[in-house]
Amino acid sequence: MSTGAEEMAARRPRRSRRGVLWIAMGAIVVAAVILGAGALSGWFSSSAITLVGAGATFPDPLIRKWSSAYVTVTGVRVNYQAVGSGAGISQITAKTVDFAGSDAPLSATERAAAPGLLHIPETLGAVTAAYNLPGIPSGLNLTGDILVYMFLGSTSPSGITMWNDPSIAAVNPGVSLPAQAISVVHRSDGSGTTFVWTSYLHLANSAWNTSLVGKNPAWPVGIGAQGNAGVAGKILQTPYSIGYVELAYTVQNSMTVAKIENPAGNFVLPSLASTASAAAAAAPTLPTSDGDWNGVSILMAPGAGSYPVSSLTYLLVYKELNAIGPSMTQARAKALVDFIWWAVSAQCPTAPATCDGQSYSTALVYVPLPQSVVTLDEQGLRNVTFNGQTLRT
Amino acid sequence: MQISEVVRGRFRNIRRGALGDTLFQWLTSLVAIGVVALLGVIAVVLLIAASASIQTFGPSFLTGMTWDSVADVYGAVPFVSGTLVTSALALLIGVPISLGVAIFLSELAPAKVRVPLTYVVELLAAVPSVVYGLWGIFVLAPAMANVIEPGLQGVLGFLPIFQGTPRGADKFAAGVILAIMIIPTISAVSREALRAVPQSQREAALSLGATRWESTRLAVLRYARAGIFGAIVLGLGRAVGETMAVTMMIGNSNGISLSLLDPGQTIASLIANNFGEGGPVSLQKSALIELGLVLMLMSLVINVFARLMVSRVLRRGEGGAE
C-alpha cells in the first residue's frame, strides 16, 4: 500500500506529459477553427445563392432534378424539402422558406393567413385506379359511379362489393369478371393524392359526400397503407384489390390501371397525353396566379381524350417578396423568380444541357405543362416584385 | 453511510480526492435527477401540446368513436380498443408458447441444448421491430390471407369475430405478429423466474413421488408464478407500445368493427401514420398528442405493475438455488 504522497509523486510525470498533450490538442483545435472559419467564409463569400422550399412530396423527384440541372446552368442552388403539402403551406405562412409546394390550392382560411401568395402550377399529375385482377390486363372500364360505390362498399345500400357486380359487367362486355370480394386500398397518411381522388369521387357522384373529401378522410371501407409506394405495394400483394395511385408510381411498378369514363363519355387510360389534354382543356377556366384558387381543379375536364382524374400541383410564392423578411434580398428575389420561370418553361434551344425545366418532365413520368398554363404562369411571375420593383418582364 | 465515513478517513489527506468524490456525487445525482426531470418535462410538454384537443373535446375524447380530419372531430375509442384487442390477442397466443419455451429451457433441456437455445431466445428479443414487420408483410400476410384465416373461418366462421374477407392485413394478423415479438421477452424473463426457484422445491416434490410434470406444475410454476406474471406484463408493455410491425400489418383503418379479420388501428400505428400531417397548430396534431398521452399512461400503469410483481418474486427468490 502506497501513501498518498507517494501516489502523488508517482503521478507527477504522467501529469506533465498529459499537460503537453493538452497544449498540443488545444493548438490543433485552434488551428482547425481558424482554417475552418477561413474555408467557410470563403464558401459563403462565393456569393452562391441557395433558395429554400418545402412542401408536397408528389413533385419532389422533378424538383430535385431541376435543382441539380439548374445549379450547373446558373450556380443557384435550390433546396426543396418534401415534407407534405400541409407542412409546406404552414412553412410559407410562417415565412421560413422562400417558396412552397402544394398539391391542393389554398383554402379560404389558408389564404387569409398568408395574403399575397401566388399559385404557380408547376407540373401535372394523374391519379390512377390501379387494380390487381389476375388475368385481366390494364384497361378495365370503370365509371365514376362504379368507383364511388366501390369505395363506399358495404356501408352503402347500393355499394359494390364484388368484382362480378352487374354494373361493372355492363361496361365491360366480354371480360370475365371474377366472383371475388373487392379489397379497397387507400392511403393511411394525409395526402394530396387522397385530396384529388376524393374530390373526384365527390364530383362524380354526390353519394360520396363532402364530409369524405379531404387529405385524410374517415374512409368507409378498405385497408390503409402509407404513401403512394405503400398503396402500390399493397395492391400488388393483394389479389382482387383496387386503390388509387399516382401515375408515376403505376408506371414504375408496371401496375394494371383502369380506363375511367370522362365527361365526353369516353373511357380513357391515364397517360401523359391524356393528362396534358385535360390540363389544356381546363386552362381557359383557370384564374390568374393572384386570384382565388380555392376549389379550382382540372378534374372531369372537357375534351374527348382528357383523363378525368388529373390535377395541377402548385408552387406558392409571395407576390411582394419583401414579405419573407430580412433573409430576402434583391439578388435572392431575382434568383427565385428566374428559377421558377425556368422551371415552368419548356424551351430547349440548342444543347440538352441548356433545356428548361419542363423538358425534364417526361423522362420522370411527369406531364409537361401545356403552353396555355405556361403563359398563365409567366403572367403571374411578371407580377412578382421586391420592394415594389418588378423582377422579370 | 458507514462505508463512506471509512473511506473518507482512509483518504483524509488527499484533498483533491475529496473534491473529486463530492463532484462525482453531484454529477451522478444531477444525471439521476435529470432522468426524472426529463419524464416530467415530456409529460408537461405533451400536456401543453394536447391542450387544444383537451379543451375542445374534454372527456368525450375518450369515448369518441370517430376520427375524422375533414370534420375535425377526434375520438380515442377505435385506437384504444385496437390497442387492447391486438395486445390481448398477442398474449393469448404468445403466453402459452413462451411458457413452454421457458419450462423447456429451465427444467427439461439438457445443458448442450439449453445454452445455445437460451442465447437464441435472447437474441430474438433484440431483433428490431421493423424487421419483424417486413417479414410479416412478405411472409406472414400472404400465409394469413390464403391459409390461416380461411382455415379459421372454416371452423369458427359462425363467430362474429371471424366475419369478413381475409386479407392478411387486419387485427388478427397484427395480434399474431405481436405474439411472435413478445415470445422472446416473456420466455427470457420467465426462464429467469423459473431458475430462481430453489432446487430443494423440485427435490421435495420428486421425493414425494411426483412426476416431472407434477413437480414442475406444483413446485416450480406455483413458486415462480409472480415472476412469470411480471414477465407477461413486460410482454404486454411491449405489445401495447409496438409501432412499426403493427403499422405494417394492421391495415390502418380508423373504423371500429367487431371482426378480427377487419383492418383496425392501434394508438401507436395511428400516430406513426399521421404525424407528418397538419400545421403546427392543427387540432388533429393536438388530438394525436393527447392519444400519445393516453398511451404513455397505459404503458406507465403496465410497467409499474410489472415492476411490483418482479420485485416481489426477486425477494422470494433470495437464498434460492442461485
* pLDDT per position as a tens digit, A66-105: 999 899 888 899 999 988 788 888 889 989 999 999 988 8
As a whole-number percent, the residues of chain A with pLDDT over 90 amount to: 57
Contacts with B72 from chain A: Cβ below 8 Å = none
Please give the pLDDT value at position B320: 40
As a whole-number percent, the residues of chain B with pLDDT over 70 amount to: 89
B41 pLDDT more than 90: yes
Are the Cβ atoms of B273 and A90 closer than 8 angstroms? Answer: no
Q: What share of chain A is helix, strand, coil (3-state, %, to 5)?
A: 45, 20, 35
Helix (H, G, I), strand (E, B) or coil at A380: helix
Q: Which of residues 73-112 of B touch A (CB under 8 A)?
A: none
Higher pLDDT pick, B20 / A78: A78
B279 pLDDT more than 70: no
Please give the pLDDT value at position A301: 92
Q: Minimal Cα–Cα distance from B12 to chain A, Å?
A: 9
A365 pLDDT more than 80: yes
Task: Closest CB to A84: pick one of B11, B69, B277.
Answer: B277
What is the arrangement of strands in the sheet containing A267-268, beginning at the earlier edge strand? A141-142, A259-261, A267-268
* pLDDT per position as a tens digit, B260-270: 999 999 999 99
Any alpha helices (H) in chain A, and if so which ranges?
4-44, 60-74, 85-93, 108-113, 144-152, 166-171, 192-204, 227-237, 247-252, 272-282, 330-344, 371-382
Mean pLDDT of the region A140-158: 95
A41 pLDDT more than 60: no
Are the Cβ atoms of A213 and B70 closer than 8 angstroms? Answer: yes
Band of residue A9 on the pLDDT scale cut at 50, 70, 90: very low
Alpha-carbon distance A237 to B144, whole Å? Answer: 13
* Global confidence as pTM: 0.80
Mean pLDDT of the region B38-50: 92
Are the Cβ atoms of A218 and B255 closer than 8 angstroms? Answer: yes
Residue in chain A closest to B73 (alpha carbons) equals A218
* pLDDT averaged over every residue in chain B: 87
Band of residue A382 on the pLDDT scale cut at 50, 70, 90: very high
Report the interhelical angle of B267-274 vs B283-316 (nearest 10°). Answer: 140
Residues in chain B: 322
Cell (9 digits) for B276: 407528418
Alpha-carbon distance B298 to B237, whole Å? Answer: 9
Please give the pLDDT value at position B322: 34
The maximal CA–CA distance of chain B, rounded, in angstroms, is 83
Residue in chain B closest to A185 (alpha carbons) equals B251
User: Which residues have a Cβ under 8 Å from the Cβ of B156 and sit 6 or more positions away?
Assistant: B162
Higher pLDDT pick, A22 / A56: A56
Please give the pLDDT value at position A239: 92
B16 pLDDT more than 80: no
Mean pLDDT of the region A358-383: 90
Please give the pLDDT value at position A351: 59
Element (H, E) at A55: strand A50-55
A7 pLDDT more than 50: no
Distances (CA, A) of A351 to A143, A347, A365: 44, 11, 22
Alpha-carbon distance A313 to A102, whole Å? Answer: 6
Alpha-carbon distance A253 to B102, whole Å? Answer: 45
Residue in chain A closest to B14 (alpha carbons) equals A4
Query: Which residue's entry shows cell 396555355?
Result: A372
Any alpha helices (H) in chain B, and if so which ranges?
2-10, 15-57, 77-103, 111-124, 129-135, 141-143, 149-156, 171-195, 199-207, 212-214, 222-241, 244-249, 267-274, 283-316
Alpha-carbon distance A377 to A360, whole Å? Answer: 18
Higher pLDDT pick, A229 / A32: A229
Please give the pLDDT value at position B80: 94
* pLDDT averaged over every residue in chain A: 87
Please give the pLDDT value at position B278: 56
Which of A93, A28, A144 has its CA nearest to residue A323?
Answer: A93
Are the Cβ atoms of A90 and B169 closer than 8 angstroms? Answer: no
User: Which residues have a Cβ under 8 Å from the Cβ of A88 and sit 6 or more positions away?
Assistant: A53, A54, A55, A56, A97, A100, A101, A102, A316
Query: Which residue's entry shows cell 405493475?
Result: B305
Are the Cβ atoms of A190 and B274 closer than 8 angstroms? Answer: yes
Band of residue B45 on the pLDDT scale cut at 50, 70, 90: very high
Please give the pLDDT value at position A137: 95
Chosen for mutation from A93, A198, A223 (greatest number of chain B CBs closer than 10 Å) is A223
Partners of A243 in beta bridges: A130, A185
Mean pLDDT of the region A104-116: 88
Are the Cβ atoms of B169 and A190 closer than 8 angstroms? Answer: no
Interface check for A88 against chain B (CB to CB < 8 A): the answer is no
Residue A220 DSSP class: S
User: Which residues have a Cβ under 8 Å from the Cβ of B283 and sit 6 or more positions away?
Assistant: B52, B53, B56, B72, B74
Strands A241-246 and A117-132: antiparallel
Alpha-carbon distance B113 to B105, whole Å? Answer: 8
Mean pLDDT of the region A327-343: 92
Band of residue A353 on the pLDDT scale cut at 50, 70, 90: low
* pLDDT per position as a tens digit, A213-240: 988 899 999 999 988 888 999 999 999 9
ipTM above 0.90, yes or no: no
The maximal CA–CA distance of chain A, rounded, in angstroms, is 102
Distances (CA, A) of A131 to A215, B144, B282, B313: 22, 21, 34, 56
Partners of A259 in beta bridges: A141
Residue in chain B closest to A233 (alpha carbons) equals B137
Please give the pLDDT value at position A110: 86
Report the interhelical angle of B77-103 vs B222-241 (nearest 10°). Answer: 140
The answer to whether the CB of A314 falls within 8 A of the CB of A287 is: no
Query: Which residue's entry shows cell 417578396?
Result: A321
Please give the pLDDT value at position A1: 40
User: Which residues have a Cβ under 8 Å from the Cβ of B233 and sit 6 or more positions away?
Assistant: B302, B305, B306, B309
> What backbone phi and psi angles, to 5 degrees, belong to A124?
-125, 150
User: Which residues have a Cβ under 8 Å from the Cβ of A199 and sit 6 or more positions away?
Assistant: A213, A297, A299
Please give the pLDDT value at position B285: 86
Contacts with B278 from chain A: Cβ below 8 Å = 86, 190
Which of B155, B153, B148 has its CA nearest to residue B164?
Answer: B153
The answer to whether the CB of A145 falls within 8 A of the CB of A130 is: no
* pLDDT per position as a tens digit, B116-143: 999 999 888 888 888 998 999 889 999 9
Cell (9 digits) for B222: 406455483
DSSP code string of B30-85: HHHHHHHHHHHHHHHHHHHHHHHHHHHHGGGGGT---EETTTTEE-SHHHHHHHHH
Contacts with A93 from chain B: Cβ below 8 Å = 279
A15 pLDDT more than 60: no
Query: Which residue's entry shows cell 418535462?
Result: B41
* pLDDT per position as a tens digit, B54-111: 999 999 999 999 998 888 899 999 999 999 999 999 999 999 999 999 999 998 999 8
